[in-house]
Amino acid sequence: MQTRKLGNSNLAVSAIGLGCMGMSYQYEPIPDRREMIALLRAAVERGVTFFDTAELYGPFANEELVGEALAPVRDQVIIATKFGFNLDPIARTNLGGVNSQPAHIKRAAEASLKRLNVDAIDLLYQHRVDPAVPIEEVAGAVQELIQAGKVRHFGLSEPSAQTIRRAHAVQAVAAVQSEYSLWWRQPEETVLATLEELGIGFVPFSPLGRGFLTGKIDSSTTFGESDLRSRIPRFAPENRAANQALVDLLSRIARQKRATPSQIALAWLLAQRPWIVPIPGTTKLSRLEENIGAAALELSADELREMEDAAAAIPVQGARYPAELESLTGL
């Protein structure tokens, strides 16, 4: 597996990371825990060194899973986690709303350290911007955790370019995590240029469009009630039918390259900047190996131009989040 550096930081990670959320949260059915531990260790054996979790996922169960699975190989991996929501540690439930008060950040970090069974968190993201707390105070709280040796690098998830600049002025931001793929390209408007200017790495989540860009989902696919996609407008049957044209594009390029649509989607992301590291999630070994294979796939300038031209003619239909969640992004 190739490695990449997240911007100007000394954080070197595998070119393809692994998003761990779906191993215990949001997507039905929730897989067997022992199987997921085996999958995480299989990922390390295949060269993956970058693992993404959060206290919200479960809540708490995903950090515990990742911590147990990666304990034997702790010195070989980079673990990223996130703070920023009101969670009940006793009932293990999401109380709703964001919370990035400095005291809350420090409590959350201490709890994450224990669940992950680590001495220091490699990369700690603010999960969503909290409009009630100036980002300078958030950056200052994380800076204190870094100075105390409890956190190594600071990250932001779904921030605006302005928020990135303000945070970076207080504490260097190593990485920004936001949704980015061929069917969600908003980061290209202002965020990518800001990251390039400041020397910050970019970690796209949902790089396969929550599974849609794999070609395994069509207008007849059904989702369980607790599956987030059942509430996402972009996954309404009529929108899936309209958005199929994007998958057809990926499938056509994949046939030419003797690859899969997923691999083409990931290779496209890797080709955008050398400091981009996507973190596709999966619960299956075959999909993990398929995703890893994208790191060795090169798209020529002509192929990338062909994809750009074709994608520009496909207007993606439907919002990427339910309205109540979309309000938490891009602040």
Structure-token match 């075959």, residue found: 286
Structure tokens at 13: 């990670």
Collapsing DSSP states into helix, strand and coil, what is residue 15?
coil
Q: Cα dihedral angle (327, 319, 126, 201), rounded to 10 degrees?
A: -140
- Chain centre to alpha carbon of residue 321: 15
180: annotated active-site residue = no
The whole-angstrom separation of Cα 20 and Cα 66 is 8
Short-list 178, 3, 171, CA closest to 78:
3
Identify the active-site residue in 57, 125, 180, 321: 57
The whole-angstrom separation of Cα 218 and Cα 98 is 34
The whole-angstrom separation of Cα 209 and Cα 187 is 15
Collapsing DSSP states into helix, strand and coil, what is residue 83?
strand
* Cα angle, residue 190 at apex, residues 189 and 193 outer, rounded to 5°: 110
Which residues are annotated as catalytic? 57
